[in-house]
Amino acid sequence: MRFVSDEERSSYWEHGYLVIEKFLDTDYAVKIYQLLRSVASKDFNIMLHLDRSEDLLQQSPHSDSEIRAEVSKTIRSVQLNKRMVGILEDLYEREMVTVQSIIVYKEAGKPSADQHWHPHQDNSYAQNPNGMYLAVGYPLLDCSPDNGGLYVYPGSHKEGLYLWDDVEGAKQKYGEGAGNKIVVPEKYEKVDIELKQGDVIIFHGDLIHGSYPNHSDRSRPFLVINYLPYGEDFIPGRTSNRKVIRCH
């Protein structure tokens, strides 16, 4: 069974990203968002490893244990979604593993919503030498530039990792840009991305991308799951603590 068309596969490798509309049922996206809000800190800070109960407890000790268990179970099911795993394995022609889950809330009215992300490459953190690291992003509400949405530089993934300035990611201060900052070559054109609730976007790990601050009255919760082919090397990270989870 094939999960992507030849056109979708060609587009992904040409541009470095692929948007699939209406991947999640909108009611399920709402359920995920409500669950994640129930374990959020008062400032709605970025949270890592929502699928790991022990990590979730450390970040959300105030939350109900049964809710945390449901969150972990739900996010793990998203990570192992058979259709998504099939899509990724069609694109890469390799068995995939997942190594990380992240929620960037950008909750309207909270200080953390002001945080924007510099142009960066996700693989500058994992540093897979073969450029096999990737991210899958789920907008749990509609996502556009005015509420902290994404932008990309199509084709920028083809040159591998660029030099970057080390900048804090999830722990960066509010109002300051986060993410390992890259000077984008002039030949690449910035493209804003608009996504609807339930859509999904797949990023090549070497694709230069970033996001805007959210100064609107609309929240922009964005769930990110990271993958790479089984057997590929990566840096676990001091705070990220990436770990391999088999998808089959």
Residue labelled with tokens 């990792």: 161
d(CA 185, CA 236): 29
Q: Does domain 6-246 have CATH number 3.40.50.720?
A: no
What is the per-residue burial (b if ≥16 Cβ within 10 Å, else e) of 204-240?
bbbbbbbbbbbebebbbbbbbbbbbbeebebeeeeeb
Chunked mean pLDDT (size 10), the chain, 248 residues: 95 98 98 97 94 95 96 98 98 98 96 90 96 98 97 98 76 68 96 98 98 96 98 92 96
Per-residue model confidence (pLDDT) at position 198: 97
Per-residue model confidence (pLDDT) at position 174: 64
Amino acid identity of 76?
R
Per-residue model confidence (pLDDT) at position 173: 58
**Domain residue spans of the chain:** 6-246
d(CA 98, CA 90): 15
pTM (2 d.p.): 0.95
Enter the tokens of residue 133: 């690291």
Q: How, if at all, do strands 150-152 and 96-104 pair?
A: unpaired
